Amino acid sequence: MTDPVRQGSISRRALLAGLTGLGTWAVLPESGSDAQPRRPAALLPRAVPNPTASLHLAATDGWVSMPQGSPPISPFWPDPLAPAGSDLYVFGFRDVTGLSATEVTGQRGKAQITAPLLGFDQETDIKIKLTNLGLSQRPDLVDGHTVHWHGFRNAIPLFDGVPELSISVPIGREFTYFYRPHDAGTYMYHCHFEDVEHVQMGMTGIVYVRPAQNSGTADVPPGRYVYNDGDGSTRYDREFALMLTEVWAEAHYRDAHIQTTDWTDYKPSFFAFNGRCYPDTLAPNGDPLSQAAGRLRYQPISSLITANAGERVLLRLANLGYRNHTLTVDGVDLLVVGKDAALLRGRDGSAEYQVTSTVQIGPGESRDVILTAPEPGTYLLYDRDLTSLANAGGGRGGQLTEIRISPPGTLPAQTRANA
């Protein structure tokens, strides 16, 4: 929450305003959990319009692939209905920005997991159009879909994506969501239509907000920061987002085979980073529009972390499974700077950063964690819960990926997250 009483660093904030907005309040957060002083609530003219970002998402079903060679879970996995090269039925989002209407319709039945990774600048006017393409495997279902920006502060119900309290998008229709984020950090988004089902089926992704501070203030030079920290302490060189999910293969099978599921029987069989289980987590980023992408075509987001020694690496961690998970990196200290899209700093400015070797993340939580890349080599990032380190109960797998560190200067500057 954003507390009404906030003290300290007013001058800093005022300077930030002066630098970036020439005194207009359009660039200032209305509500800052970033340990910033708060602008009094008032209706002032917006002197400079915010930049706008438009995005088009499509929601549909599809087929993906869990690691080959995992022990079968008869009869649920591999799903006998799955097209060649795939083995698991899912629901998911696709980024169809810029595609023609025909091309968009052509993505029906081609969902991806996890959902596209979204990043926006603070104080951007964001318009996300959601088109419901229907479910190709289940034409009998009339399920709507929604976008719920999980954690968005001071939301109004219309854009909150809870169908029971506002709307969902019927099949063949579209709806445009509007967001003006004032609070930097790592959030997530997911469909909220029959959420226990649609979230489990794969309609989950990470969305993050870059702080206004990135354009520089009197105290910190322009750069890449996690939060409006005022002191540069959340600066990073490379960022990697990991969406933690679980796959209950039985429920996915039942959805494909027109059977019902008692969700209180929940018993996950696969544990994923960005919709992939180790060793698939290491494969490079893919593109669902590219035939060449192969077996992981509809799981396009890589979890391989690369950096040069000495660089500061930001991990944006979010959990949309239904179980707690605890991540660790062998031999590397982790600096936790944010939780739930809020800088870890008390209302009086007291530091709450935490140095640790394990980070526990509950369902629906996020963490921003910075590590300093150690000596060149390969380091493992994985779930401390060892049952989450298996694929369908067998062998090594699950929520595990590698951090590969190169000598200084080897890798060029990162151009986008998870690359």
Partner 1 sequence: MAAIPFRIPRPRPGRLVLPLLVLALVAVSIVRFGGYAAARPGYAVPHDGQLEAALGVRFTQAAVVGDGGLVELRYLVLDTQKASAFQNDTKHPPRLRNERSGKLAWRAALMKQGHELRPGQSYYLLYLNNGGAVRRGDTIEITSGQRRLAHVPVR
Partner 2 sequence: MLPADLGRWKRLSAVPLAAAVVAVLVVPGPDRVAASPPAGLECRTAADNAFDLTATGGYAAMPDGNTIYMWSYASGGGEFQLPGPTLCVTSGTKVTVVLHNSLPEPTSITFPGQAQVLADGRPAQPETDAAGTLTSLTTTAAANSGAVTYTFTAGPPGTYLYQSGTDVQKQVQMGLYGALVVRPAGHPDRENDRADSAFDPDHEYLYLLGEIDPDLHLAVERRRAYDFTRYKARYFTINGRSMPDTIAPNHAEWLPAQPYGALIHIRPYDPVGNPKPALIRYLNAGSVAYPFHPHGSDEQLIARDGRPAQGPAGQDLSFSNFLIDVSPGQTVDTLMIWKDAEHWDPQGNPIPVPLPSLQDQIVGPGPETWFAENPYLGGTPGELPPGVVQNNQCGEYYHVAHSHALEQATNYGASFGGMMTLIRIDPPAGCPA
Using CB under 8 A, list all residues that contact partner 1.
141-142, 163-165, 194, 260
**Contact between 385 and partner 2 per CB under 8 A:** no
State the minimum distance, in angstroms, from the CB of residue 31 to partner 2: 5
Beta bridge partners of 359: 327
Give the per-residue contact string, 235-274, with partner 2 (x = CB under 8 A; - = no).
--------------------------xxxxxx--------
Which of Cu ion, partner 2, partner 1, none does 332 bind, CB closer than 5 to 8 A by kind? none
Residue whose CB is less far from partner 1, 22 or 142: 142
State the minimum distance, in angstroms, from the CB of residue 141 to partner 1: 7
Within 181-200, which residues bind Cu ion (CB under 5 A)? 191, 193, 198
**Contact between 180 and partner 2 per CB under 8 A:** yes
Residue whose CB is less far from partner 2, 132 or 306: 132
Residue whose CB is less far from partner 1, 142 or 218: 142
Which of partner 1, partner 2, Cu ion, none does 182 bind, CB closer than 5 to 8 A by kind? partner 2
If you ran DSSP here, which 8-state letter would residue 90 be given?
Answer: E
Give the per-residue contact string, 121-150, with Cu ion (x = CB under 5 A; - = no).
------------------------x----x
Which of partner 1, partner 2, Cu ion, none does 412 bind, CB closer than 5 to 8 A by kind? none
Distance from C-alpha of 293 to C-alpha of 281, rounded to nearest angstrom:
14
**Nearest Cα to 385, choosing from 258, 268, 226?**
268
Residue 117, amino acid: L
> Which value, to the nearest 10 degrees, does the dihedral of the CA atoms of residues 120, 371, 413, 221 take?
70
Answer yes or no: are the C-beta atoms of 269 and 248 closer than 8 Å.
Answer: yes
**Nearest Cα to 386, choosing from 396, 377, 376, 375?**
396
Determine how β-strand 366-372 pairs with β-strand 334-339: antiparallel
**Contact between 5 and partner 2 per CB under 8 A:** yes
Beta bridge partners of 240: 315
State the minimum distance, in angstroms, from the CB of residue 195 to partner 1: 11
**Using alpha carbons only, what angle is made at residue 107 by residues 162 and 278, rounded to the nearest 5 degrees?**
80
State the minimum distance, in angstroms, from the CB of residue 321 to partner 2: 9
Residue whose CB is less far from partner 1, 165 or 419: 165
Residue 191, amino acid: C
Among 200, 213, 214, 299, binds partner 2 (CB under 8 A): 200
Answer yes or no: are the C-beta atoms of 359 and 352 closer than 8 Å.
Answer: no
Residue whose CB is less far from Cu ion, 198 or 238: 198
State the minimum distance, in angstroms, from the CB of residue 82 to Cu ion: 20
Within 303-342, which residues bind partner 2 (CB under 8 A)? 320, 322-324, 339-342
Distance from C-alpha of 68 to C-alpha of 45, rounded to nearest angstrom:
58
**Contact between 155 and partner 2 per CB under 8 A:** yes
Among 103, 330, 348, 375, binds partner 2 (CB under 8 A): 348
Which of Cu ion, partner 1, partner 2, none does 191 bind, CB closer than 5 to 8 A by kind? Cu ion
Distance from C-alpha of 131 to C-alpha of 170, rounded to nearest angstrom:
9
Distance from C-alpha of 192 to C-alpha of 169, rounded to nearest angstrom:
11
Answer yes or no: are the C-beta atoms of 232 and 217 closer than 8 Å.
Answer: no
Residue 324, amino acid: N
Residue whose CB is less far from Cu ion, 130 or 337: 130
Distance from C-alpha of 113 to C-alpha of 187, rounded to nearest angstrom:
17
Which of Cu ion, partner 1, partner 2, none does 155 bind, CB closer than 5 to 8 A by kind? partner 2
**Contact between 177 and partner 2 per CB under 8 A:** yes
Distance from C-alpha of 210 to C-alpha of 315, rounded to nearest angstrom:
14
CB proximity list for 2: less than 8 A, separation 6 or greater: 31, 32, 33, 38, 153, 154, 183
Residue whose CB is less far from partner 2, 120 or 379: 120
> Which range, of 9-17, 86-94, 139-147, 325-333, touches partner 2 by CB under 8 A?
139-147
**Contact between 231 and partner 2 per CB under 8 A:** no
Distances (CA, A) of 289 to 113, 161, 286: 14, 27, 9
Residue whose CB is less far from Cu ion, 9 or 200: 200
State the minimum distance, in angstroms, from the CB of residue 412 to Cu ion: 36
Residue 59, amino acid: A
Distance of CA 296 to the CA centre of its chain: 19
Give the SS3 label for residue 413.
coil
The residues binding Cu ion (CB under 5 A) are 145, 150, 191, 193, 198, 203
